[in-house]
Structure formats: structure tokens, C-alpha cells
Amino acid sequence: MTIGPLRARLADGREILYFDDDDHPGRSHDASDQRPLDAVTTDSQLRWDPLAREWTVLAAHRQGRTYHPPADLCPLCPTHGDRHTEVPEPAYDVVVFENRFPSLAGVADRRRDAPSPNDPATELCAPGTGRCEVIVPTDDHEATLPQLSVARIRTLVDVWAHRSDELRRRDDVAVVGLFENRGDAVGVTLHHTHQQLYGYPFVPARTSRLLAAARDHRGRTGRCLVCDRLDMERSDGTRIVSAGDHWTFLVPYAARWPYEVHAVPHRHVRGLPDLDDAERDELASLWRDLFARYDGLFDVDRLPTIAAWHQTPSFEPDGHVYGQAFTLQRDVGKLKFLAGSESSFGAWILDVTPEQAAEALRD
Amino acid sequence: MTIGPLRARLADGREILYFDDDDHPGRSHDASDQRPLDAVTTDSQLRWDPLAREWTVLAAHRQGRTYHPPADLCPLCPTHGDRHTEVPEPAYDVVVFENRFPSLAGVADRRRDAPSPNDPATELCAPGTGRCEVIVPTDDHEATLPQLSVARIRTLVDVWAHRSDELRRRDDVAVVGLFENRGDAVGVTLHHTHQQLYGYPFVPARTSRLLAAARDHRGRTGRCLVCDRLDMERSDGTRIVSAGDHWTFLVPYAARWPYEVHAVPHRHVRGLPDLDDAERDELASLWRDLFARYDGLFDVDRLPTIAAWHQTPSFEPDGHVYGQAFTLQRDVGKLKFLAGSESSFGAWILDVTPEQAAEALRD
């Protein structure tokens, strides 16, 4: 049973939250941050691209962020003696804190919609408000998801739900995006397993397209698009990787990425906070199992993967949450890169069929 | 003055076209391909993703494609003695041939639009027809764009125009996409400088958004969106990298990529084939100059870059072509990777301001 959060502040005023799997009698969570940190300053800006009609985030101050530190200087490890890190405690289960190099920070009075097209001179830029949190699910520098206990991942699911719920209640947050990047090939700058939560002040470009398709389908059919796709995939069966009473993990019919998997709850719920206990229990088990399957695909230590949760925008009454995971490894010794076709035109070329991917992940 | 094309066939039936800068008295272009090649077989499929409403290309047969061959086995070099390559001639200026491992090949009777949303069971997949060509602008294995003469790049511009024009006349090609990937970090599998031309049988996802924004702007204002942005940037000036009588090269206000540059012709023309001689002359000079500027940015041999040309879809009467180039190098020793925010949500985070990028490229 998840205990927490216990809330504290780092030396520069950033919030830190501790969540425990269970009562740890020796842990007080009252260590204070001894570092002489300057306050975090950001000068992020949102800029509107009228050619593609999307916001981009300009975060030039992040160029100086920590980049591949040696293991003994890992800022996500617990603090021991004089070795001060981002986490003042000597041990933790799951810890969450505001990113020291946030792409988005601060509060606005409302979320950012598209600028008025009839007045292109106004609102082409806006402050880069929002929130960037780091979620660290283990104080073990080397452990990756499949090495954590199901109990710990169950705590983690509660943390995802807690943080998503708190952020989606903000008027200036449009979408709560949760993701985990793993592996050098994904550009991970900190080796210690961690996830990131972004409270976007605008609807990101891809989320906006997913939303438009879902609204249109609902309008035409009265049904949920994600529910309909799930029904189709469950009756077909060839692209299912794993399943339980509450979840189906499947390779989408038109996957864009190698070994892409969607984790879909059977019940029509908007976001992670809306999952009940039985759904969270099963998710913890299946999510851990999925990453063990990824690690078994090729003979690679820490297969480069990206995982994300697509939650319903906070202003949208209807939606169906799902997880997404994929690897950038398309074969033994071969990575998938985004080149001109993907980057410039948005035309994805996939080398592995979804049916082959599902079969490889099932076995 | 560009001579050509002279058309021939490779041993497996693929088309090969030679273009020369000028008359080369010794060259007959009549060498025949001596390799015992099996016919190219493809089983590409287009699959429709109803969640994001876009086509993806499934090209599983490409897994076996040539991957980082040693220099003495480069298939893009000329043929010498018993060393047979894709180009039977012992020398060439610019050569174009159909890709031996095409993502898209074959002919259909029409382009692919979005499947009818009221009948989701039909047309969720289609044959992966279209055309993938390789353009090799030099027979020198090591030369990159800035090392080619302006005269050669002038020939290359004619080649781009010729190939784009031939492909855009096909009923089953919706968009002609032209791009060049350079550098290991972009996933380039062949080191020898080359470009690729894709005759897409559908409108790729990003192109579709650019088209929608352009149509909407035209409908509301009666003006071209690209013309309007160009006017704004020329009067502002802070993001201009280089310019001439016919072209302006600028960093877009809401750039998504490090050191992104748009190469915009002043005249409102739909595609590369519609450029006149003066525009082609100036483009050759400015395009070469841009890549010399990229190479001067950091102390890096072959800075990883992607370049692409956004041409108007073939069925669209109105549009304004522009080139796009960017690097994945965001700083000395630091690459830009697409991680969860970009890949899953489509929210791009940029570390380099467009104004800084323009200044660095100008100097």
C-alpha cells in the first residue's frame, strides 16, 4: 500500500515528494538539502509555427544541463555523507521532484490555444509555463524496470496517478505527458532509471491529432475509437502480446516504431488517476513483464526504449488512456533512425511487421 | 549546361539515368550492368492508423538492405574492372537510379486518400506503390556537398527538377519528397554522398498539416502563407542566414530542430521544376554555401544533417516550395535526440534559439 506523499523542498525551493511501498520504520524523510543552490531560473518560450500550426518549446537555458555524469556523481542517487544529490535522503522507494533544468516552469492563468489566425501578429509567442517533474522509482543506480519488484511498480503506478491528477487540475495545464527514455541511443543523459512528467501548457501536436480523430469518431458513431480498436484487436488476436482481466497489450496494426506496443485498459477511463485498484495491480505486473520481454528480444543490455502514457487532455470530458512503448533497435546491431522521410514529411517507414513484432514479444 | 538524361537499365530491370555537367567527349554511358541480379521484389504495404489518421509504410523486406559497407564495396561508386557497383560506368557526374531496397515501388491506378471513416473495415491497407530513387551527385566517394563545384550543384538542381517533374505527373504519386541524410548520427547506411527521392502514393502526415494550414490561410486572406512568412522574416531580418536576388535562407521563428534553415524562393512557385534558370543558378550557389556554413559550426567532420524539399502535392494547384535543412548536433559533442516528448506527443523542445542559430550560421 502506497504511503505518501511526504512533501518537502530542495534548497532552491523546488518541491520534492516521497512515496513509499510500505512503512519503513527507520525513515523520517526529514533530511534537508545542504547544497548552496541558486534558485532555478528559466526563460522558456512557446513559439507558434503557423506553417504546421503547432507550438514548439524553446528552452535555451537547458544547454547547460547535466550530461552523462559519472556514476559516482549521479544526481538521482540518494545522498551519502558529503556526496549531496538531488535527493537529500540516504534511501528512498519512489521520489518525485521538479526538474532542475525544466523545459517548462511557472504558472499561467490559462492554457495556450492556437493563436487567432486572423491576427497573426499577436500571441505568436508565450511564456514557457508548465511543470517538469522527474520520477525516480528506485534508489539503486543500476536497476531498470524489470529488476524492480511488482510491488514497487505498483507504487509507481500510484505515483503516476497522483502526479497526473495534481497537474491535470491546473487551469494552465492542457495535457499531462508521462514518459521514460532508456538507453544511450535515445539520448538519455542520466543513466539512473527515471521517468519524466510534463505538464504541457498547450496541446502537443500529436496529441492534438489523436484528440481530433477520437472526437470525430465519437461524433460519427457514438463510440470510443480506442474501445473500437481494442475490440477489433482482441477479436483478431494476431497482434496481442499479453493480456489480463483488465488490460490488453498489443502491437498496433499501423505501428510506426519497431516493436511498438499499446497498453490499453479494457475499461473506458480518461487517465491514469481514474484506474481502480484491480487495474493498477494488473498494470504493474504486465508493465514489468513487457520490459522483461523487450530485454529478451536481442542480446542487448538496456535495449533503447521509449515509453509514454497518452492521457486525455484535462479540458476534454471524454477519452481513453493508453500506454505506448517501443524500441529504437530494429534488429541485432541495427538502430532505427528518423531520417528525412520521417523528420521532414512525417512518413514513417517500418522494417518489422506488427505481426512479427507481436510474435517475437509473445515468445 | 546540363546534358541528359541518358536512360539505361540495370541488370534487374531498374532504371538508371545519367546527367552530365557538360559534354564529356570520352563518355558513352553505354556500359552494361554485368551483375547477375535477381529482380527486385517488394512486399511493401501502406497501413492506415485510425488513431492518428495517417498512413505508415511497412517495408519488412528492407531489413536485409546494405548496412555500412566498407569503402571498397560502396555500391554508389563507379564500376572499376571486376568491382561491379550499382553504376556500370567508370565515371559519372550525377546519376539517378531506382533504389534496390525500395520502401515504395510499383504503379497503382490512383493515389491513396484517407479511407472512408464510415467504413473502417475497408482499405485499412494498400499496396506500397510509388517510387524510391537514389541520386548520387558525385563519383567521388568522400566528397560532400561543400566540396562539389557550384557547377555540379547547378546540375544537381536540374536533376532534382527533372525527377520531381516526372514523378509528379504520375496519377498515383501524391507528393514528391526529396531529402539528403548525412552522418552516422542520422542513421546513414551508405557513406557516399547521395540523396533520395520518394514518390509517395499518399500525402505524408506532416505534409498534410502544412497543406491544411496553407489552404486555410489562402481561404481567409487570399494570400500565400509562405509568402507572408517570408515578407515578415525579410522585414525583421534577425533570423536571416543568407540571401540573394531570388532566395532567402532563414531560420524559422518557431524552429523545431537545431540550426534549422528554410530556403525560400522569393517567387511563388509550386515545386523545383517551376524554378527558372536564374533561380536555379542562385540556389546552387546558396545551397552549397549553407552546407559549408554547417561544417564550420562545430569542429566536426560531416556534421550530421538532414535536408529536404517541401514541394506542393501534385494534385494541389497552389503552393510555394521551400527547402529545409537542419543538424542533429545541438552543441559541441552533444546530439539532439528525439525522446518521449517529441516521439510520443509531438512536442519539440529546442535548445538553441533561432536568433542564435541564425547569428552562428551568418558568421
Co-location of B289 and B200 in the same domain: no
CB contact under 8 A, B306 and A339: yes
Co-location of B341 and B240 in the same domain: yes
Range of the domain at B69: 3-206
CB contact under 8 A, A213 and B356: no
CB contact under 8 A, B217 and A345: no
The per-residue pLDDT for range B273-309, each reduced to its tens digit, is 999 999 999 999 999 999 999 999 997 778 899 999 9
Comparing CB atoms, the residue among A62, A117, A228 nearest residue B351 is A62
How many domains does chain B contain in total?
Answer: 2
Residue B199 lies in a domain: yes
Using an 8 Å CB-CB cutoff, list chain A residues near B352: 60, 63
CB contact under 8 A, A60 and B181: no
Comparing CB atoms, the residue among A212, A331, A347 nearest residue B63 is A331
Co-location of B245 and B183 in the same domain: no
Comparing CB atoms, the residue among B63, B210, B346 nearest residue A205 is B346
Domain boundary among B177, B206, B235: B206
- Per-residue model confidence (pLDDT) at position B331: 85
Q: Please state, in angstroms and rounded to a whole number, the distance separating the CA atoms of residues B357 and B183.
A: 20
**Catalytic residue among A191, A194, A246, A320, which?**
A194
Co-location of B188 and B46 in the same domain: yes
Co-location of B287 and B172 in the same domain: no
User: What is the rounded average pLDDT of the residues A1-30?
Assistant: 91
pTM of the model: 0.95
User: What is the rounded average pLDDT of the residues A133-145?
Assistant: 96
Which residue from A minimizes the CA distance to B118? A220
The per-residue pLDDT for range A173-195, each reduced to its tens digit, is 999 999 999 988 888 889 999 99
Mean per-residue pLDDT over chain A, rounded: 93
Residue B122 lies in a domain: yes
- Per-residue model confidence (pLDDT) at position A259: 97
- Per-residue model confidence (pLDDT) at position B119: 60
Residue B212 lies in a domain: no
Task: Identify the residue among A344, A350, A356 best suited for mutation to test binding to B, counting B beta carbons within 10 A and taking the highest.
Answer: A344
The per-residue pLDDT for range A309-336, each reduced to its tens digit, is 999 999 999 999 999 999 988 888 888 8
Q: Decide if A24 is catalytic.
A: no
Instruction: State the smallest CA–CA distance between residue A311 and chain B in angstroms.
Output: 10
Co-location of B55 and B182 in the same domain: yes
The per-residue pLDDT for range A278-305, each reduced to its tens digit, is 999 999 999 999 999 999 999 777 889 9
User: What is the rounded average pLDDT of the residues A66-93?
Assistant: 90
CB contact under 8 A, A351 and B62: yes
Instruction: State the smallest CA–CA distance between residue B200 and chain A in angstroms.
Output: 9
Co-location of B234 and B200 in the same domain: no
CB contact under 8 A, B209 and A53: yes
Which residue from B minimizes the CA distance to A214? B51
Residue B215 lies in a domain: no
Instruction: State the smallest CA–CA distance between residue A54 and chain B in angstroms.
Output: 9
Co-location of B240 and B184 in the same domain: no
Comparing CB atoms, the residue among A175, A336, A345 nearest residue B206 is A345
The tens-digit pLDDT sequence of chain B (363 residues) is 899 899 999 999 999 999 999 988 878 788 899 999 988 878 899 999 999 999 999 998 776 677 778 878 899 999 999 999 999 999 999 999 999 999 999 999 999 998 877 665 556 899 999 999 999 999 999 999 999 999 999 999 999 999 999 999 999 999 999 999 998 888 888 999 999 999 999 999 999 999 999 999 999 999 999 999 999 999 999 999 999 999 999 999 999 999 999 999 999 999 999 999 999 999 999 999 999 999 999 977 788 999 999 999 999 999 999 999 999 988 888 888 888 899 999 999 998 999 999 999 998
CB contact under 8 A, A340 and B63: no
- Per-residue model confidence (pLDDT) at position A263: 98
Co-location of B192 and B43 in the same domain: yes
Which residue from B minimizes the CA distance to A201? B347
- Per-residue model confidence (pLDDT) at position A40: 81
Using an 8 Å CB-CB cutoff, list chain B residues near A135: none
Which band of pLDDT confidence, cut at 50, 70 and 90, is reported for residue A107?
A: very high
Co-location of B9 and B117 in the same domain: yes
Which band of pLDDT confidence, cut at 50, 70 and 90, is reported for residue A10?
A: very high
The CATH number assigned to the domain holding B306 equals 3.30.428.10
Instruction: State the smallest CA–CA distance between residue B230 and chain A in angstroms.
Output: 11
Comparing CB atoms, the residue among B177, B310, B341 nearest residue A198 is B341
Residue B31 lies in a domain: yes
Using an 8 Å CB-CB cutoff, list chain A residues near B205: 209, 345-347
Residue B69 lies in a domain: yes
Using a pLDDT cut of 90, give the percent of chain A over it.
79
Tell me the range of A36-45, A230-239, A299-308 where mean pLDDT is highest.
A230-239
CB contact under 8 A, A204 and B338: no
- Per-residue model confidence (pLDDT) at position B118: 63
